[in-house]
Amino acid sequence: VYEILNYIQQNYHKNESFDTIAEHFSVSTSYLSRLIKKETDSTFTDYVNTLRISEAKRLLANSKDNITTIYEKVGFNNRNTFIRLFKQIVGVTPSEYRKNSKSNN
């Protein structure tokens, strides 16, 4: 299971489907789903989104990349989805997060 989680951590930005990952490791999607839920207490989608948002936070705080570049780097295809999920997970928009992180330095 750690090999699978490591693979997801290394490739979350590539938008590989859940089915593709299950196939890559020669396991069923239901088995993979149970493994991920057991180890992370999250669904596959929630786990991947958490990884993406975590990296987005790092980039917002430490780079000058614009929001579009950042959401594309971390694997989101849609700006609105990125902003909505970012605010849902972090509590502020990406722009507010960047502003707050800059003012704390």
> Tens-of-pLDDT digits for all 105 residues of the chain?
899 999 999 999 998 999 999 999 999 999 999 999 999 999 999 999 999 999 999 999 999 999 999 999 999 999 999 999 999 999 999 999 999 998 776
7/3 Cα distance (integer angstroms): 6
pLDDT of residue 103: 75
Give the number of C-alpha atoms closer than 13 A to the C-alpha of residue 7, restricted to the C-beta side: 16
- The residue among 72, 22, 18 whose CA lies nearest residue 46 is 18
CA dist., res. 36 & res. 32, Å (int): 6
- Give pTM, 2 decimals: 0.92
